[in-house]
Amino acid sequence: MEKITGLIDAPFTPMFPDGDINLEPIPRYAAMLAKNGLKGVFINGSSGEGYMLTPQERKALSEAWVKAVPDGFKVIVHVGSCCLRESVELARHAAAIGAWGIGSMAPPFPKIGRIEELVKYCEAIAAAAPELPFYYYHIPAFNGAFLPMLDLLEAVDGRIPNFAGIKYTFESLYEYNQCRLYKDGKYDMLHGQDETYLASLAQGGAEGGICGTTNYNGREQVAIGEAWKAGDLETAREKQNFSQAVINVICNFRGNIVGGKRIMKLIGLDLGPNRVPFRNMTDEEEAAMKAQLDAIGFFGRCNQF
């Protein structure tokens, strides 16, 4: 099964002021990401407020992205839901419209507490689109599924034929590396923490990753990997430190989903508000965030259109 090389972006969902989804910006959005070195998108995930969208909205977004991306640009559709039948329906739809792959995190309710429960959940979704690679999205801070991922790989091995790997968004670089080493790298371990990308490269992994801050800081995040491959450790370190400085700013403004989405407006692509219960930024907060970004030289290094 093909392994992903390069960084995949986790895009925001464009919305009108009233909270309805807005498909119009997606072609420009896709072109911008490709221009800045991204290799695909992982849509309808946490950055995209996927669990707050209706199935019809998620299908419309999937169709719009598949139509908008340039040749060779991967579209992976997050199909996770608290309703497994809905996830199966979304997986079938993703296959029917020509998506490159599918993925799912564990549902936030009911919480999954055993590996076997998680395997059965993934198995049903993956079987709905057997021709597509399936990625498990490990982000336990969002759903409480603090389960050992090496155990998951051992459990799915030989049981889910199209299980491609894990989008690993957790703090344990040790566990990440143990998963990467499983059976000489059998599974694709996509690094999911932008702030520690360089550390994963140093372990010998992270040929691919899925990032949220690449929506606006993609040039710099991509350049971390390029510098590492060129043997320029000092440049790689500087760019990773800059990535962390950007993350420090968005953490002051309710994180990537809220603060990051508003940064898109500041760089020239207004993607609208977040849905309730997210608390949208005020104009005063936007001005304060812009000042903090100015202070670190962000606008000279951010994504360009």
- DSSP result, 174-227: HHHHHHHHGGGT-SEEEE--GGGHHHHHHTT--SEEEESTHHHHHHHHHHHHHH
Indicate the pLDDT class of residue 205, thresholds 50, 70 and 90: low
User: Residue 161: is its pLDDT beyond 90?
Assistant: yes
The answer to whether residue 285 is domain-embedded is no
The answer to whether residue 251 is domain-embedded is no
137 part of the active site: yes
Distances (CA, A) of 218 to 97, 183, 202: 27, 32, 20
pLDDT of 194 reads: 97
- DSSP result, 105-150: EPPSSSPP-SHHHHHHHHHHHHHHSTTS-EEEEE-HHHH-----HH
pLDDT tens for 98-115 read 999 999 999 999 999 999
Q: Which tokens hold the place of 107? A: 């549902």
The answer to whether residue 279 is domain-embedded is no
182 part of the active site: no
The answer to whether residue 239 is domain-embedded is no
CATH number reported for the structural domain that contains residue 154 in this entry: 3.20.20.70
Indicate which residue of 39, 59, 167, 261 is catalytic.
167
The answer to whether residue 226 is domain-embedded is yes
The answer to whether residue 268 is domain-embedded is no
Q: What is the number of structural domains in the chain?
A: 1
CA atoms 209, 161, 48, 179: torsion sign: negative
DSSP-derived letter for residue 300 is: G
The rounded percent of the chain whose pLDDT value lies above 90 is: 98
User: Residue 206: is its pLDDT beyond 80?
Assistant: no
CA Rg value for the chain: 18
pLDDT tens for 214-238 read 999 999 999 999 999 999 999 999 9
Indicate the pLDDT class of residue 151, thresholds 50, 70 and 90: very high
Q: Which tokens hold the place of 188? A: 């694709």
pLDDT of 207 reads: 81
User: Rounded to whole angstroms, how far apart are CA atoms 9 and 170?
Assistant: 17
Grouping H, G, I as helix, E, B as strand and the rest as coil, residue 33 is: helix
Question: Which residue segment(s) compose the domain that 33 sits in?
Answer: 6-233
